[in-house]
Amino acid sequence: MRSWLKWICVCIVFATLALQTGCWDRNELENLAFVLTMGVDRSIDNKIDVVMRIAVPGNIGGPTGKTGGESITQTTKPITITARTIPEAVSLAEATVERRVDFRHLRVLIFGEEIAKEGVLPYLDVLERFPQFRRSVYIWVAKEGPARNIFLTAEPVLEKSVSRYVDDVARGVVRYGYTRMPTLHDFLNEVDNHQLNAVLPLVGVNPIVSSEKKDGSVRPLPTDKYHQEIEGNVEPGGKTLRSLPRSGGNPSEFLGIAVMQEGRLIDKWSAWDARIYGLLRDSYRGGIWVFDTPNGKGPFSVIIRRAQQPKIDVTWEGDKPFIDIHLFLEGQLLSVLALEPYVSTDRITLLESQVVDSITAETSQLIERAQKEKIDPFYLARSIQMRSLTMQEFDSLDWKNRFSGASVTVHVDFKIRRPGLRIQPRSEESR
Amino acid sequence: MNQKNSTKRQGYVGWIEASICIGSFVHVKMFLANPRELCQMAGTAAWMVPLIGVIGAIVIFFILNHLTATFSRASLLSIAGLFWGPTIQFLLGILFSSLFILISGYELRIFAEFVLTTLLPQTPISIVVISMVVLNIYLAIGGFESLSRTIMIIAPIGLTVLTLALTFGGTMGTVYNLSPWLGYGFWDTLSAGLLYTSLYEEIILLGFIAPLFREQKDFRRSGLATLVLSAVLFVFAQVVYEMCFQIQSAQQMGFPLFQVTRLIRFETFLQRLDPMFVFVWASVSSVGLAVGLYGAALTLTQGIRATDFRPYLIPLAVLSICVSFIPPRSLDAVNTYSFIPWLLQIPFYGLPVILLLWSKLFYRPQENRP
């Protein structure tokens, strides 16, 4: 290269260094307002309320939050904007928040019950298009009422960081299985598959705990008053859609699932149903279950884990499908309340049979319910999909209708693998 | 034949370097909209399309290999000049140079749109395009040997990151999404595969850089390695993409592989890795586009029987910028770019076939040699 050309190049490089020191897309942390959670509710005049919980970075402390604020009400601030669309609400929020509103750290989007019944898909379009939103965002549905109630009442027991709170809740779901925690990506993938119904987790606000919350902190009721509040609630927690009988802690509770049809909420299933759903959908990994002992002297508790993926076989007789479902589970004994000596090779099968009978009955009931409603959130068509050759063949299956008339057989394979750290319980005689 | 002229001041290249260089040019489209287009064409069987396409490309490559072996690794344009005279060689040079500029220009535009959509929304598109082209010129000005040296530094990192990205991304997907196995049907999949032989059409560049190979076996190895490597990466990327997205979503996804990397999330431990992948992909794409620019300059040089390709780089780069600004919107760029390769495979694959036929039917070496 000629020497004058080299010098020109060097000059251009230095001029570039000097002149291009800034950039159009600079993102200074101190100029951004990170929205951590967002809610969408039906408002008046056919508008929507968009609730955004914005992080207050100065109040967020270290990993334990000791140096930061005391609760999420101090580490975050909720604002509600009423607008026609989410982008409009974001745009209007920019006019009220002194920093640029940013969604790159958004962890969850909550829909109110009413708007979920109308359909959530129109509001998810922006989440798919705008790159600040990630498909790893969780989508929740308020069990009753608006999502805003959840924002106003949520008071995590330990976490001061909203992001960690959401992540912890999602991890907890895998441990107890009372709901399912799909991300936006999971949900949209399910919505796109016309042979199944997508589900979303239900988030409820416990009325007792909510009433205990005053001035930003929860003050548990006296025992007598608490017992008055829960009187008449005879079913075990999670069996129905009723709120848990409890006092103190976080008013929000994650029990049950919202069954969706083309993005619309069409049914709500309880926490117990959600576990059965998880077994069939193969999203269940583990949880504590309680069953009555064979002689009815008191319940026993087991941790039930999924041993292997369920085997679903569909055969046809004309247009009628015959569905054979095998669930493979294993367990660990946690307690036998009656202190009866079931933990021996011959008697432990009594407990196992009890579990098998109970889960088989619950599964059959839930499948019947789905058949009546002509929905299949369990994705039982997956075995047909794997055997289909062409997309036209699978798309023309009209599975939900055919499933409604299907004959379903459920087999549960269950073994209590471990009795825990004690073999037989302490007997009545030894006491 | 004046193949030595066109390779003035250029060294020989090894077969691995040439494979990776041309492979990166082939693969630029994989980072753009290609996985989505394959899904639109073949549905759930889209991952088979690159496999079927590579069979056709291998046949074409063997024709190319036979031709270059017969003519001592002369470039295609030199052979055309030998058969049909300098006027046709000139016209073909202009034609192929224009086609390379057309490909580069459109890829440049879509790459710039990708950067603007995902990372730098406020930055003017001209800044992204011009920065990329300046980098392309810098990379291409040293010739193919220099390009291959650069890519040999980037390739190990790029391949590792790409493999990790796709492997991690694959764990976020499900195998159910790959079924029904034949997509829209056997014949639809087969015809899509044959149409998408165009995925590998950049392999024609080997015919223009043939004089840079020391031996014919290097040329053959390079071509086969390019095709096999490309096919493996295309299929791997397509399988992962389809596993991650239900087919209806997969057919509508903007910047497909970027979306796959955005899904990667192992609890809070490993997440938000996409900026790293974007950096690597930008590096690989910049080399790929530089190869395209180099190809345009080289074919023009060979067409007009000039001695050096370097003086044409900057004018051609300006032309590629102009081409990149032809589509008024990104949608037009993507739509046009989706069918351009189908048409381009006619001249790209047609030239070696016609030259081989001509050499067998009409060419008599003794008559033309002094």
pLDDT in tens, B126-155: 988 998 999 999 999 988 888 888 888 888
Who's near B27: CB < 8 A, 6+ residues apart? B230, B233, B234, B284, B288
Q: In this predicted complex, what is the ipTM?
A: 0.89
pLDDT in tens, A358-394: 999 999 999 999 999 999 999 999 999 999 999 999 9
Chain A, nearest residue to B121 by Cα: A25
**The pLDDT of residue B85 is above 80:** yes
Q: Which residue has the higher pLDDT, B182 or A431?
A: B182
Give the distance from residue B183's alpha carbon to the nearest chain A alpha carbon, in angstroms: 5
Best residue in A189, A196, A312, A380 for a mutation probing chain B (most B CBs within 10 Å): A189
Best residue in A379, A383, A390 for a mutation probing chain B (most B CBs within 10 Å): A390
How far apart CA A218 and CA A230 sit, in angstroms, is 18
How far apart CA A307 and CA A328 sit, in angstroms, is 5
Chain B, nearest residue to A380 by Cα: B176
Domain B8-353 sits in CATH at 1.20.1740.10
Structure tokens at B45: 């069987």
- Which sign does the torsion angle of CA A126, A130, A135, A140 carry? negative
What size, in residues, is chain B? 370
How far apart CA A105 and CA A162 sit, in angstroms, is 10
Best residue in A132, A185, A395, A399 for a mutation probing chain B (most B CBs within 10 Å): A185
- A332 forms bridges with which residues in the sheet? A303, A418
How far apart CA B230 and CA B205 sit, in angstroms, is 15
pLDDT in tens, A319-349: 899 999 999 999 999 999 888 888 888 899 9
What part of B 221-280 touches A (C-beta under 8 Å)?
Answer: 244-249, 259, 262-263, 265, 267-268, 271
Share of chain B above pLDDT 70, in %: 96
pLDDT in tens, B177-229: 999 999 999 999 999 999 999 999 999 999 999 999 989 999 999 999 999 99
Please report the DSSP string for B212-252 in residue order: G-SSHHHHHHHHHHHHHHHHHHHHHHHHHHHHHS-HHHHTT
pLDDT for position B5: 42
Give the residue extent of every domain in chain A: 29-269, 283-431
Q: Which residue has the higher pLDDT, B102 or A57?
A: B102
- A323 forms bridges with which residues in the sheet? A314, A408
Round the average pLDDT of chain A to a whole number and report it. Answer: 90
Give the distance from residue B350's alpha carbon to the nearest chain A alpha carbon, in angstroms: 34
A236-258 average pLDDT score: 92
**The pLDDT of residue B8 is above 70:** no
Q: How confident is the model at residue A230 (pLDDT cuts 50, 70, 90)?
A: confident
A347-357 average pLDDT score: 94
pLDDT for position B315: 96
pLDDT in tens, A63-106: 554 445 567 777 889 999 999 999 999 999 999 998 999 999 99
Residues of A near B (Cβ–Cβ under 8 Å) read 23-25, 131, 134-136, 167, 171, 185, 188-190, 192-193, 382, 385-394
Round the average pLDDT of chain B to a whole number and report it. Answer: 90
* B182 to A394: CB separation less than 8 angstroms, yes or no: no
Structure tokens at A363: 């599964």
Supply the Cα-derived Rg of chain A in whole angstroms.
27
pLDDT for position A4: 83
Who's near A176: CB < 8 A, 6+ residues apart? A286, A287, A288
* B122 to A24: CB separation less than 8 angstroms, yes or no: yes
Question: What homologous superfamily is domain A283-431 in, according to CATH?
Answer: Nutrient germinant receptor protein C, domain 3 (3.30.300.210)
Q: Which residues of chain A neighbour B171 with C-beta distances below 8 Å?
A: none
**The pLDDT of residue A274 is above 60:** yes
B342-349 average pLDDT score: 94
